[in-house]
Chains A and B, each alone.
Chain A
Amino acid sequence: MTTNTDPGLDRLDQREGLDRLDQRGGGRDDEGTRGAWLVVMKREIVVRALNKTFLVGLLVSVAIIAALAAFMAWQGSKTDSFTVAVPAGDAAATAAVESAAAIPEEQGGGAELTALEVPDDAAARAALADGDADGWLHPGAGGWVLTGQADPDSALTRLLTAGVAEQTLDANAEAAGTTTAELTAGGTLSTDRVDGDAVDPQTLFFASFALALLFFIGALGSGQMIAGSVVEEKQSRLVEIMATAVPLRHLLAGKILGSSVVALAQNVVFAAVGLAALSFTPTASILPSLSTSLVWFVLFFAVGFLGLAALYAVAGALASRTEDLQHTTTPMTMAIMGVYFLTFSASGTFETVLSYVPVANVVSMPVRVLSGDAAWWEPIVSLLILAAFAVVALLVSERAYRGALLQTGGRIGWRSALRTAG
């Protein structure tokens, strides 16, 4: 029998009972319960990792990422080829097709164009109808006409517009006794930037979309998991057995850490698969800057998810049965959906603001890092703000969780939960 001289129990009242019991146990009993959070954490991880639904979801997501990357690689590597019908003996038309074929890939060209000489209009139309030619380039009123069986291919139109312009410019220059090179000498504009490699807007949009999606899947999936696991224990009264064995904060800590590890591991897997797949695509040149951005994302996610997981645990404790979860987790779900939609569509000043607002900064700051828009200290300041949010969320949640977990009968409000915890 442990000797106990604490006189406090005589004055226990409803408000402070549990909390005091927790603390009373804390000092003397530390050795027995010190590792309890670790036992809880391990179970959370093992149960989740062996969950079929989770594993199938993970595999499907990995397959989708790999397939997307494969599609992009195929898109990037394939060469367009066109056959263009030209009137037989029309040197200007042939020259226009040749200069269209000569446009380098960097300027939107890189396609194979073949000129097919046709004796007359009827033969040209027949070639279009048979599919032997993709377009028919012929002189028209004051210029050129590109005829297709239906509307001509847009890429072909773009290429030939440039080809025809160049050929016409060459011809007119020659007639004026000069050359195109002389006429356009010194008239080019190219761009340059001091801070290194540029990431084009399309890639940036794709990256911010991917990060927002990673955040959405990770936060929502793992958040729901922790809420579900809390209410499962509450509904079955398992928590009453556990509450007598270990302080409730150990239970909470184990759950938060366990689900954070799973959520983080999932995101690391997705990011690694994505990066590996991207390295086979033409966008491989942005891999270094994308990797830096992803490291920030993982860091931000780890810190931000601690806070979110704590809030989700409270959402689980506020419910009395699984059916209540949808109601108690609504504010969290709305916030995460909001972050998802706002961050991948945000730009300019709005994006800069978001990159400092928890938890939107989990997505927005890494995107700004990727665009090269953020100064070196900006992600650090933003991360500190996020950490402050996580600490406040953890402290408030710890109290609300203790207050709500052992109350039964219907849904419990935040206020009642915080008051009961004393």
Chain B
Amino acid sequence: MDNDSLEVRGLTRTFGDLTAVDDVSFVAPAGLLTGFVGGNGAGKTTTMRMIMGVLAPTAGEVRFGGDPVTRADRRAFGYMPEERGLYPKQPVLDQLVYLARLRGIAAPRARAEVLDMLDRLGLAGRSKEHVEKLSLGNQQRVQIVAALMGTPRLLVLDEPFSGLDPAAVDGMVDLLAEHTARGVPVLFSSHQLDLVERLCERLVILKSGRVMADGAPADLQSTGALRHRLVAGGDAGWVRGVPGVHAVDVDGPVALLEVADDAALQRLLATGLERGGVRELTPVRPTLAQIYREVTA
């Protein structure tokens, strides 16, 4: 086990008769961005709250660096809860420094660090404003600063990108990259699958409290059925007659095909050359959205 990885083992949480999180196990490796994906009510937030010790697990455990996580460990974790909100009537800088001091960071250091991060997130000059005066997107940036200050050893972020404009997303991604470069594991949940696909080195898909898939996006993609896209010289209706080839969809000259093996692929190509030529034949990797739909179906 890597020294600073987060490991979740058999984590379970019941509320009365409802099992919100059911025997969830996965690893968020040190220095990697791990995406936590799942629909509403899949158990992402409940799992994150248990990792942070805000909610006691019914069963299972959370380990950090190979040992059961302690309160001292958790003080050094950066956490962004699901619902946004800070003290609405307190200036941005004051409350960030307050939260930093609760985590044991001395006031002058906290101040310098907070000002620097506000600057990088485009909030320089807003530090004396009350949080309620900021737009929702800007309030979210303040919340991000709250999670990232104090050189955390693990980041647990619940929907950190929701509500951010593309520029803010890029700024946020840069910030997170700095932390993964330090060897910090980052676990974040998101509904935006395209974003997760672009960013994550690792992926955990959750459905109804259970882990449906867990691994690197490329590995997950190769587990899906490999498809080919064919563009014929004329109408591609002939593909239906080729043995070993299953036509998923044919639309004029364009066909989406499942090809059984290499021999079938050669047959397809040969037939195509006889029937007016083949302009294009490419393997199609399923997108993350497709994988997600498949594993959670």
| Residues on A facing B (Cβ under 8 Å) | 1-4, 6, 9-10, 12-18, 21-22, 24-26, 28-29, 32-33, 36, 39-40, 43, 47, 232-233, 235-238, 240-247, 406
Measured between alpha carbons, how far is A247 from B73 in the docked complex, in Å?
13
**Cβ contact within 8 Å between B68 and A13:** no
**Cβ contact within 8 Å between B61 and A9:** yes
Apart from the given pairs A10-B61, A33-B104, A245-B103, 17 other A-B contacts in the complex at a CB distance below 8 Å: A6-B70, A9-B69, A12-B57, A13-B56, A17-B55, A17-B56, A17-B57, A24-B71, A33-B75, A36-B102, A39-B102, A237-B84, A240-B54, A240-B79, A244-B75, A246-B75, A406-B55
Measured between alpha carbons, how far is A232 from B85 in the docked complex, in Å?
9
By a CB distance below 8 angstroms, the chain B residues around A18 are 53, 56
**Cβ contact within 8 Å between A14 and B56:** yes
**Cβ contact within 8 Å between A240 and B81:** yes
* A232 CB contact (under 8 Å) in B73, B81, B87: B87
**Cβ contact within 8 Å between A2 and B70:** yes
Can you name 22 A-B pairs with beta carbons within 8 Å? A1-B67, A2-B67, A4-B67, A9-B68, A9-B69, A12-B56, A21-B53, A21-B71, A22-B71, A29-B70, A33-B75, A40-B102, A47-B87, A233-B87, A236-B85, A236-B87, A238-B85, A240-B49, A241-B146, A242-B99, A242-B102, A244-B77
* B73 CB contact (under 8 Å) in A2, A39, A241, A246: A2
Measured between alpha carbons, how far is A247 from B75 in the docked complex, in Å?
10
Known A-B contacts A1-B3, A25-B72, A240-B81; the reply to A32 vs B58 at CB < 8 A is no
Measured between alpha carbons, how far is A36 from B75 in the docked complex, in Å?
12
Measured between alpha carbons, how far is A341 from B17 in the docked complex, in Å?
47
Contact with A along B83-104 (1 / 0, CB 8 A): 1111110100000001101111
Measured between alpha carbons, how far is A196 from B254 in the docked complex, in Å?
111
Which partner residue on chain A sits nearest B131 by CB separation? A236
Determine if B74 is an interface residue (Cβ-Cβ < 8 Å): yes
**Cβ contact within 8 Å between A39 and B68:** no
Determine if B37 is an interface residue (Cβ-Cβ < 8 Å): no
Determine if B4 is an interface residue (Cβ-Cβ < 8 Å): yes
Chain A proximity of B277: nearest CB distance (Å): 61
By a CB distance below 8 angstroms, the chain A residues around B64 are 1
Measured between alpha carbons, how far is A18 from B71 in the docked complex, in Å?
10
By a CB distance below 8 angstroms, the chain B residues around A6 are 68, 70
Measured between alpha carbons, how far is A1 from B73 in the docked complex, in Å?
8
Q: How many residues of B contact A (CB 8 A)?
A: 46
Measured between alpha carbons, how far is A13 from B70 in the docked complex, in Å?
16
Q: Which of A32, A43, A237 neighbours the largest number of chain B CB atoms within 10 Å of its CB?
A: A237
**Cβ contact within 8 Å between A32 and B75:** yes
**Cβ contact within 8 Å between B102 and A246:** yes
Chain A proximity of B76: nearest CB distance (Å): 9
* B72 CB contact (under 8 Å) in A28, A47, A240: A28
**Cβ contact within 8 Å between B58 and A4:** no
Q: Which of B64, B79, B146 neighbours the largest number of chain A CB atoms within 10 Å of its CB?
A: B79
By a CB distance below 8 angstroms, the chain B residues around A16 are 56
Measured between alpha carbons, how far is A248 from B270 in the docked complex, in Å?
73
**Cβ contact within 8 Å between A1 and B65:** yes
Measured between alpha carbons, how far is A391 from B57 in the docked complex, in Å?
31
Measured between alpha carbons, how far is A21 from B71 in the docked complex, in Å?
6
Chain A proximity of B172: nearest CB distance (Å): 18
**Cβ contact within 8 Å between B70 and A28:** yes
Measured between alpha carbons, how far is A3 from B14 in the docked complex, in Å?
30
By a CB distance below 8 angstroms, the chain B residues around A40 are 102
Measured between alpha carbons, how far is A47 from B62 in the docked complex, in Å?
37
Interface hits, B32-52 → A, CB 8 Å: 49, 52
| The 6 A-B residue pairs with the shortest CB-CB distance in the complex, in nearest-first order | A17-B56, A25-B71, A236-B85, A237-B81, A9-B68, A32-B104
Determine if B82 is an interface residue (Cβ-Cβ < 8 Å): yes
Which partner residue on chain B sits nearest A250 by CB separation? B102
Which partner residue on chain A sits nearest B156 by CB separation? A244
Known A-B contacts A1-B4, A29-B75, A39-B98; the reply to A240 vs B57 at CB < 8 A is no
Which partner residue on chain A sits nearest B49 by CB separation? A240
By a CB distance below 8 angstroms, the chain A residues around B61 are 9-10, 12
Q: Which of A10, A39, A241, A242 neighbours the largest number of chain B CB atoms within 10 Å of its CB?
A: A241
Chain A proximity of B175: nearest CB distance (Å): 18
Measured between alpha carbons, how far is A376 from B81 in the docked complex, in Å?
56
By a CB distance below 8 angstroms, the chain A residues around B59 are 12-13
Measured between alpha carbons, how far is A232 from B87 in the docked complex, in Å?
7
By a CB distance below 8 angstroms, the chain A residues around B82 are 237
Which partner residue on chain A sits nearest B75 by CB separation? A245
Measured between alpha carbons, how far is A1 from B6 in the docked complex, in Å?
13
Contact with A along B7-45 (1 / 0, CB 8 A): 000000110000000000000000000000000000000
Measured between alpha carbons, how far is A232 from B86 in the docked complex, in Å?
9
Q: Which of A6, A240, A243 neighbours the largest number of chain B CB atoms within 10 Å of its CB?
A: A240
* B83 CB contact (under 8 Å) in A2, A9, A10, A236: A236
Chain B proximity of A381: nearest CB distance (Å): 41
Which partner residue on chain A sits nearest B65 by CB separation? A1
Known A-B contacts A237-B82, A237-B83, A238-B87; the reply to A244 vs B54 at CB < 8 A is yes
* A241 CB contact (under 8 Å) in B65, B99, B101: B99
Measured between alpha carbons, how far is A327 from B103 in the docked complex, in Å?
34
Chain B proximity of A272: nearest CB distance (Å): 29
Which partner residue on chain A sits nearest B61 by CB separation? A9
**Cβ contact within 8 Å between B53 and A14:** no
* B85 CB contact (under 8 Å) in A1, A21, A26, A237: A237
